[in-house]
Structure 1
Amino acid sequence: MAERSETPARETYLLVHPGAELFGSDRMLLESARGIVDSGARAVVALPEHGPLVDHLRGAGAEVVILPMLVLRKSLLRPRGWPTLIRNTLRGAGAAWRLIGRVRPAAVYVSTITIPQWPLLARVRRVPVVSHVHEAEASGSRLINAALYAPHLAATTVLVNSEFSRTTIAAALPRAARHADLVFNGVAGPSEAALPREEIDELRVLYMGRLSPRKGVDDVISAVALLAERGRPATVSLLGSVFTGYEWYEQELRERAAELGGDTVRFLGFRPDVWSVLAEHDVLVVPSRIDEPFGNTAVEGILALRPVVASDTSGLREAAGGYPTTALVAPHAPTAIADALEDIVRTWTDLRGRLEASRAQAEARHAPKLYRRAVSDAVRSAGSVR
């Protein structure tokens, strides 16, 4: 009787992420899952909620599990949020413990520092952990930063998305940064990108991302208002939505837009396909006022063959600096944004001729296949030493 040949079981890796939208860190989680699947392994992704990310993950070949999870939000750290914090801590710990036992992963990949229970629980269960740090705020409290990074001391491997992130971790918790590996974000561009129009009449400015005071969205509106005062007509489109609890900020933006009148400011809401929107605009502005660990949005603008104006700060400097078609300006400075936009219009013909070179540079630096391979190698290497 011939022996039956059996196909060896694929290694299973558990990936954990705090949301299910399609903003920067969500897209990086998707690329990480693709890297695991491309390596031939099984990827199980745990999320705290349903959202547009779920279908993309399943389309990439990953399995998705929705379960209770402690996700650190500022609202939970206030006294009125403590009951929810305690409830989510207990429910999240139980759900995580059971899932790890059921899936039996070779390693756990923890995306962001806002889900602190996972590195600790995984190590208690003797499962190697890869923590991927996407957050860094050097201007924040060193004590708070240390508390946020501390659970990730349990990680077998720590990945960071910029030198700025590594430096920020080192300032708060040197031990956590000592063996951190740098993996630049993999940013996919459009399948086809067209150069912007040859001549500018009314400048079309675009902002993409969360509508948040930290992101400086009102600074873009103020910059466009300044251009109008200088006799330079311009409009601005806001592509994005607010976090729950920040509806007041969107209302302030709408009131400011009403003061300017007409179609000077357009609110586009959230759209998963950013490329068609970028194609309709002349320039992208990334005006963050606070530290950013990186700047996926800036890279997306470069890949879409658009000039970019970005704040000269933190990880944005690494994302947008060094390209012939980007301008770095002081944060929280509408006048500096307006000046940069005027320079873009004044040098438009020359700038337009350099956009393809910038795109090629960004593709070489942030190719998704390089990111996927680096993350997959880190996760599989951690799992191999179990």
Structure 2
Amino acid sequence: MPIIAICNRPSKEIWRRSDDRMKNQENDTLGCGNFDMKRVVIAHPSPDLYGSDRMVLESVRAVANTHRVLFILPADGPLADRLKEVGAEIMIMPTPVLRKSLLSPSGLLTLAWRTLTVLPRMVALLRRQRPIALYVNTITIPLWIVAGRLARVRVVCHAHEAEQYLPSLMRRLLTAPVRLAHHVVANSDVCLRTLVGAGVSGDRVSVVYNGVPDHDEVKPPREAPQGRLVVVGRLSPRKGCDVAVRAVALLRARGRDVTLTLVGSVFPGYEWFEEQLRDLAGDGVVFAGFQDPVTPFVDDADIVLVPSYGESFGNVAVEAMLAERPVVASDVQGLDEIIQTGRTGLLIPPGDPQALAAAVESLLDDWPHALDLARSGRNAACERFAIARYHSDIVRVLSAPIASA
């Protein structure tokens, strides 16, 4: 039975009680597990079910049959329920996650205080667990990498970020802890190039493209389009939701009977962006909020839009291709590694609602061509982004001997 240990505030007394509870729960767990199975500790910054969250769930599926997995989250959420289903033990330990809000004098002081408070407990936990590897998912929780090295545990960091457009100094600061990892997994070539450009040794980095589960039965696309568009993902400036909303306004002004469904919610602190989107959105735009699963929304769409300003990979594009839906995406970073424009989808300049509207219009006006793109996209996605390949690659990375640094 998976275990959830909850620690809400980092006060001294609560941390002391939490440490005691964690030790007791770890002892209880050791009494009911398989002693022959080696343990892996996985740390992740979010309890949600978006791109990197779904990928770390697949990483757990990959190793859970041969390893005992202790999964550490900063808070409870929908991801925890999925992890329980695949047999992971869950511990909730609030730890600092790098956000833009911390890039201020007060934010840096908060980060320093949290580091002094939490780091010793992270190291102690790892020393008690003695895992064969600590798997740190994303570079936004660098303290876990530091804790792993201090506890003398092999550290694998799975990078899902490609912050190419940050100033060079900021990129180097962001990736500095990643250089401490024994091995780094990059989810795309652009992610690899970004890491190496920021000082991470290329000898320690492996590219493992995300794997996306396929559905055995694909709901066929409509024989004639109804103008239904969908954007799936966080409501954030980075995802270009506003670009999609503006493109729909242009299409409707031209007499096109199109609708747009936005499937996703905001990060805490970004509520202002959703308010701006709602003010911008006119008729034909539906805010569906967070949804799990998202498959019914993709299946109901004629065209899937991925108008991001930057993506190290782009799971939604692959999900749309597997669902045999034509995709229009921004010509940025990892998305241009997924889509071959004119063959498996269409790529347009980022931040350009006119170009997005024109691409959608071209597909609606030549629906047979759109369906050809969708079929080619599905074939390419099945070949390149199979979930079985991803599982085997993750097991290989975690099981392979890693030289000390």
Q: Which residue of 1 aligns with 2:213?
A: 188
**Could you tell me which of 139, 152, 172 is aligned with 1:126?**
152
1:201-253: CA deviation from partner (whole Å, max 9, x where unpaired): x4111011111112111110111111122222211110000111111111111
1:81 shift after superposition:
2.4
| Alignment partners' CA distance in 2, 1:115 and 1:132 | 11
Q: Which residue of 1 aligns with 2:18?
A: none
Letter in 2 for 1:284: V
1:324-349: CA deviation from partner (whole Å, max 9, x where unpaired): 24100000000000010011111112
The runs of 5 or more residues in structure 1 that have no matched partner are 1-6
**Could you tell me which of 122, 129, 133 is aligned with 1:107?**
133
Q: Does 1:215 align with 2:215?
A: no
Q: Does 1:245 align with 2:269?
A: yes
1:67–1:95 Cα contact (<8 Å) kept? no
1:68–1:95 Cα contact (<8 Å) kept? no
Q: Which residue of 2 aligns with 1:4?
A: none
Letter in 1 for 2:38: E
1:134–1:161 Cα contact (<8 Å) kept? yes
Q: What are the within-5 Å matches in structure 2 for residues 250-289 of structure 1?
A: 250-257=274-281, 260-261=282-283, 264-289=284-309
Q: What are the within-5 Å matches in structure 2 for residues 1-386 of structure 1?
A: 9-38=36-65, 40-173=66-199, 175-200=200-225, 202-257=226-281, 260-261=282-283, 264-289=284-309, 291-321=310-340, 324-382=343-401
Please tell me the root mean square deviation across aligned C-alpha atoms, in Å: 1.8
* SS of alignment partner, residue 227 of structure 1: helix
Letter in 1 for 2:371: R
1:354 shift after superposition:
4.7
The TM-score with structure 1 as length reference comes to 0.92
1:118-147: CA deviation from partner (whole Å, max 9, x where unpaired): 122212221111111111111111111111
| Alignment partners' CA distance in 2, 1:327 and 1:355 | 10
Farther off after superposition, 191-200 or 160-169: 191-200
1:356 shift after superposition:
3.1
| Alignment partners' CA distance in 1, 2:341 and 2:373 | 13
1:68 shift after superposition:
2.2
Q: Which residue of 2 aligns with 1:3?
A: none
Change in Cα spacing, 1:46 to 1:8, as seen in structure 2 (3 Å) is: closer
1:156 shift after superposition:
1.3
Change in Cα spacing, 1:37 to 1:268, as seen in structure 2 (3 Å) is: same
* SS of alignment partner, residue 314 of structure 1: coil
Change in Cα spacing, 1:118 to 1:141, as seen in structure 2 (3 Å) is: same
Q: Which residue of 1 aligns with 2:30?
A: none
1:150 shift after superposition:
1.2
| Alignment partners' CA distance in 2, 1:170 and 1:188 | 30
Change in Cα spacing, 1:323 to 1:127, as seen in structure 2 (3 Å) is: farther
1:195–1:352 Cα contact (<8 Å) kept? no
2:345–2:374 Cα contact (<8 Å) kept? no
* SS of alignment partner, residue 221 of structure 1: helix
1:189 shift after superposition:
2.9
| Alignment partners' CA distance in 1, 2:169 and 2:371 | 46
The share of aligned pairs that are identical, in percent, is: 41
1:107–1:382 Cα contact (<8 Å) kept? no
Letter in 2 for 1:248: W
Farther off after superposition, 242-251 or 80-89: 80-89
The TM-score with structure 2 as length reference comes to 0.88
| Alignment partners' CA distance in 2, 1:115 and 1:323 | 38
1:322 shift after superposition:
5.8
The runs of 5 or more residues in structure 2 that have no matched partner are 1-33
1:377 shift after superposition:
1.2
| Alignment partners' CA distance in 1, 2:89 and 2:403 | 22
1:282-321: CA deviation from partner (whole Å, max 9, x where unpaired): 11101112x3111111111111111100000111111223
Change in Cα spacing, 1:121 to 1:323, as seen in structure 2 (3 Å) is: farther
Change in Cα spacing, 1:169 to 1:384, as seen in structure 2 (3 Å) is: closer
2:123–2:150 Cα contact (<8 Å) kept? no
| Alignment partners' CA distance in 2, 1:213 and 1:133 | 21
1:21–1:51 Cα contact (<8 Å) kept? yes
